[in-house]
Structure 1
Amino acid sequence: MVGRLSAEMFFIDRQDRRSLQMQLTSSIVSTILEARTLPGTRMPSTRQLAEHLGISRLTVTLVYQDLVAQGYLESAPRSGFAVSQKVPHRRIGREDALSFSQPVDWGRWLKQDLTARRRISKPLDWRSYPYPFLYGQADPTLFDHAAWRDCARRALGAREFTDLADERMAVDDPVLVDFICRNTLPRRGIRARPEEVLITLGAQNGIWLAVQLLARKDRVAVMEDPGFPDFAATFQFAQMPIHYVPCTEEGLEPASLPPDTGLVAVTPSHSIPTGATMPIQKRRELLTMADKNDFLIIEDDYEFEMSFLEPPSPALKSLDGGGRVIYIGSFSKALFPGLRIGYVVGPAPFIEQARALRAMMLRHAPGHMQRVTGYFLALGHYDAHIVRLREAFRHRRETLTQALERTPFRIAGAARHGGSSLWIEAPKEVESARFAEMLATRGVLIEHGRPFFANPPNPCPFFRLGYSSIAEEKIEAGVKIMDQMLKS
């Protein structure tokens, strides 16, 4: 006798951001595969399932029809829908696993506890907070979704499919690399050939590749303090000793480098997190020291596009006549952080080795996303997007600065050319980590300063306020809550 699946076996989640049609499709497919439903088993009628789920009968009908096309269901006149005779995949039964008395001692096998590193944490549901002063998150209202979809359609066209579907080994997308060489890098004063550029999964992937290739246990790694915590974590994983140089109002001080320096990680145009800019003369001094003392430099040139106050300084790499600077860039901050498309620029011998190391991990960044990004850049959408960001960020920074002037908070650091965040100092008795926890209960999100310091002051009154993710009209109210919380 042919069985029937009950409508109660299927569900949707009203809190799920996916469409009702996608959720129902996933629920039906999972039920058929997980329960190993027999071919011919009848499905609930479209009316029954629609009433049970509280959705449109048309939605259920469209889902059933799509699953017929995919081979999960079959339709019979006046008989409704049933599980197909040729379901694409059925899971086999699982054998009982063997049990052993001695558990794996992971503490012995894993050489480092990477979860213990200092890191910047942000709640995944940050959009549900009314006042998210978070750095690096995108405001979707400023993004041209129609232009991105058009570029995605172009990249999905039949003409493009063969090129993007083939195994390209370690080769990057030529459309994206060409734009970087012809447009992005010249704006930073850098000239590079395609063989001197490598596409990465964001800037952090580029940093990891560079450190893994260049780390030497007998030489010291140098970085700013406060600085980017992932630089420190990457050096530690590579087992390089680290020397922290205080970050002044002019960024890293070259004269503070120890004599056994081997690798310097620096953000000269826009220090993390203070926004300090290294003067051209000090950049020249750093490069001269690198040549004299035989060390290399990793330059993270993030957020140079957000220059709404004044043009950004030329990149350190643009002054590098000896090939000692490995340049890291990314499109993730300017477009959206989930994109994870970055790039590394360096001498051809280094890029050749970096490409080989990357190939051991992931071959290359997803070809389709590379091509979509390449089209978005080449067709002018990126530049138009940057213009919108600059204008919006200029207004938000002005509003935030004015609101802070009426409070005890002090702007301890700000990018001279613009950027999308401010480095704030609270009164000296405030512990910013605790302050952040208290503010979150009132719907305000800030990034406390402890992760940025190798040895944070105690208490640590510093924190970062980002304005890329918060609407301008909410900034003043958010700062007012901060002020009220401080007084209480």
Structure 2
Amino acid sequence: MLERYFEKPFDPNRRLQHQIQERLIEAILAGIWPLHDPLPATRVFAKSIRVSRNTVALVYERLAEDGYLKSVNRRGYFINETHIREQLNIRIDDRARDILPSARRPFDLDKRLTYRFSEQANIRKPANWQSFEFPFIYGQLSADKTSVARWRDCVRLAGTAQHAPTWIGDLVDKDDPMLVDQIIRRSLPQRGFRADPDQILVTIGAQNALFMIASLFCKPGGRVDMEDPGYVDARNIFLSFGADLKTHRVDSNGMRISEALAGAELVYVTPGHQSPTNVTMSMERRLSLLAAAETHDFAIVEDDYEHELNFIGAQKPSLRGFDRTGRVIHVASLSKPLFPGLRLGFVSADAAIIAELRALRRLMFRHPSALDQRAMALFLAEGHYDSHIRRQRKALSAKWNAILRGIDKHLPTCHVTMTTGGSAVWLQLPATVTAETVQDQAAQEGILVEAGDVHYLGAEAPKNRLRLGFAAIPLEKIAPGLERLGRIVERLTPSP
């Protein structure tokens, strides 16, 4: 009876012991083995599923420790009836369903909701992006095996008796002091400013930070200014709080600064690498923006999401480094350049702002995973983060050069916005070619590209912009991918 749960081949990419344990638990809870009979002897069971006897013995021991089995001297392992009954009693008695109210009056969701988040225009990325031969996708990375191994070591170290007391308990509204210290000592100096511990808040990535900031500063009818084109998720967050958006055009020096900022309450910018064009805001404009903030009395949200990825020229200090009036709220990601799925970041701002954000965070989710915080603190302290960034900069620099050369050779009718780094380029197609059409036809030929329409707010937004991410695509695939993309653009361009 047990054998049918083991007919499916084991996954070679997962630990065999874990897979056997999972399948045995499934079989036990399904009630397929009599409670009064011992499970098959380790030698017999191991032979039937073609694994070693030691592996089965370890699984039996672990299941006994977890309460699923009980060991009876000289007789073997039996199912722990008490434990199983507790598990099964959680299920709803079918007889209770007979007295549930009828479904004659279904719940009217439309009448209850005040805002439809699901109807926002948003960036759409295919879940199967890895199946594309040429994935020019933004926001994903090639796996760095060295960093994966070192992260695993740090997670293991964080789980030892030495560090476990720091994350076993509820931190309530606090952060791991070791991580805060590492951010202050290692991350902030590279961004050109200093901060005290009460000016730092750890977040579940930069996105979470933006939502909390909007919760504090946005209100229905309040004005928020941002770049156009700009970061779609930030725009949607501000709109969901009822803010009135005013946009400012972006050129090769970043967002244009003018008297049009008068009346803004909050200004959101991505000065390090503008989203989505990847241009870097000039020093003159940074200083002009800070001056405008004081003149017109608005706060600045500085989203510095790819600060480390400059390949040309010196790194420009963050706006927060020049802030003398407590108006700049600096948002950063720790996980985006490392493992995007990890979701760790931080906010640095005036202590009074951080205190409000901390109180808000407590209501939302109290604090990010304390285990992840300690593992990240160790990763930073042991120099692994800096080593990762050095490797990443080297790899992305080579890809950046390759993609610029490839565009020049294979897409001569297109214009690329020049940048000093980052992990994507912004491409302008011929005026008669729409990005959406290119995106659809490229997907049919194994090329994943992103149409840029969604990044614009205005109705007259250009329809011929593409964003080409290059962090996830192998270096050797960039040139052939662009060659194939060039043929698609050429095919869609009308003859003169």
Per the TM superposition, whether the score is higher than 0.5 is yes
What letter matches 1:412 in structure 2?
A: V
Alpha carbons 2:252, 2:418 under 8 Å: kept: no
Give the 5 Å matches for 1:88-127.
89-92=86-89, 93-94=91-92, 95-96=96-97, 97-127=100-130
CA-CA distance at 1:250 after TM superposition: 1.6
Look up the match of 2:251: 248
The alpha-carbon deviation at position 478 of structure 1 amounts to 1.4
Is the 2:2–2:27 contact (alpha carbons within 8 Å) kept by the matching residues of 1? no
Change (3 A) 1:100 1:247: same
Give the counterpart letter for 1:413 in structure 2: T
Q: Does 1:289 align with 2:286?
A: no
1:174 aligned onto 2:177: yes
- Residues 455, 412 of structure 1: CA spacing in aligned structure 2 closer, same or farther, 3 A cutoff? farther
**CA-CA distance at 1:56 after TM superposition:** 6.1
CA distance in 2, matches of 1:120, 1:35: 46
Q: Secondary structure at the match of 1:468?
A: coil
- 1:334-393: per-residue Cα shift (whole Å, max 9, x none)? 111011010011111110010000000111000010010011111111111111011111
The TM-score, its normalising length taken from structure 1, stands at 0.91
* Partner SS state of residue 404, structure 1: helix
Please state how far the C-alpha of 1:234 moved relative to its aligned partner.
Answer: 0.7
Change (3 A) 1:364 1:16: farther
Q: Which runs of 5+ in 2 are unaligned?
A: 492-496
- Structure 2 CA distance for partners of 1:179 and 1:51, relative to 1, 3 Å: same
Indicate which of 308, 322, 326 corresponds to 1:323: 326
Counterpart position of 1:397: 400
1:424 partner letter: L
Contact 2:222 2:242 in 1 (8 A): no
Task: Tell me if structure 2 keeps the 8 A contact 1:221–1:263.
Answer: yes
Aligned to 2:193: 190
TM-superposition CA deviations, 1:166-207 (whole Å, max 9, x none):
111110011110111122112211121000100000000001
Choose which of 63, 70, 85 in structure 1 pairs with 2:66: 70
- Structure 2 Cα separation of the partners of residues 457 and 142 of structure 1: 45
Q: Displacement, 1:239?
A: 0.7
- CA 1:54/1:180 → structure 2, altered by over 3 Å: closer, same or farther? same
Which amino acid in the other structure matches residue 304 of structure 1?
A: H
What does 1:338-487 correspond to in 2, within 5 Å? Answer: 338-408=341-411, 410-416=414-420, 418-455=421-458, 460-487=463-490
Tell me the CA shift for residue 45 of structure 1: 6.1
TM-score after normalising by structure 2: 0.90
Q: Measure, in 2, the Cα distance between the counterparts of 1:63 and 1:98.
A: 45
Alignment correspondent of 2:277: 274
CA distance in 1, matches of 2:471, 2:11: 25
8 A Cα contact 2:2 2:32, kept in partner: no
Tell me the residue number matched to 2:312: 309
Equivalent residue, structure 2, for 1:39? 35
The CA distance in 1 between the partners of 2:9 and 2:247, in whole Å, is 49
Counterpart AA for 1:25:
Q
User: SS state of the match for residue 441, structure 2?
Assistant: helix
Q: Which shifted more, 283-292 or 196-205? A: 283-292
SS in 1 for 2:83: coil
Equivalent pairs counted in the alignment come to: 483
Give the counterpart of 2:134 among 128, 131, 150.
131
Check 1:458–1:365 CA distance in 2 against 1; reply closer, same or farther (3 A cut): closer
Change (3 A) 1:407 1:349: same
Specify the SS of the correspondent of 1:261.
coil
91-100 or 219-228, which deviates more: 91-100
Distance in 2, matches of 1:386 and 1:478, equals 26
Q: Output one character per residue of 1:389-420: Cα deviation in whole Å (capped at 9) or x when no partner.
A: 1111111111111111122363432432x111
Q: Report the identity percentage.
A: 34
State how far apart, in whole Å, the 2-side matches of 1:23 and 1:119 are: 38
Instruction: Please tell me the residue identity of whatever aligns with 1:23.
Output: Q
2:203 matches 1:206: no
Cα distance change of structure 1 residues 290 and 141 upon mapping to structure 2, 3 Å threshold: closer
- Give the deviation of 1:55 after TM superposition: 6.0
Return the letter of the residue paired with 1:104.
F
Aligned partners of 2:488, 2:104: CA distance in 1, in Å?
Answer: 54
Tell me whether 1:224 sits opposite 2:257 in the alignment: no
Instruction: Note if contact 1:142-1:389 (Cα within 8 Å) is conserved in structure 2.
Output: no
CA shift, 1:60, in A, is 4.4
Distance of 2:146 and 2:102 partners within structure 1: 53
Equivalent residue, structure 1, for 2:168: 165
Q: CA RMSD in A?
A: 2.5
Which whole-Å deviations, capped at 9, do the CAs of 1:28-57 have from their partners, x for residues lacking one? Answer: 223323549763455466677667767666
Cα separation, 2, equivalents of 1:98 and 1:18: 45
What is the aligned counterpart of 2:79 among 83, 97, 115? 83
Structure 1 distance, partners of 2:434, 2:211, is 32
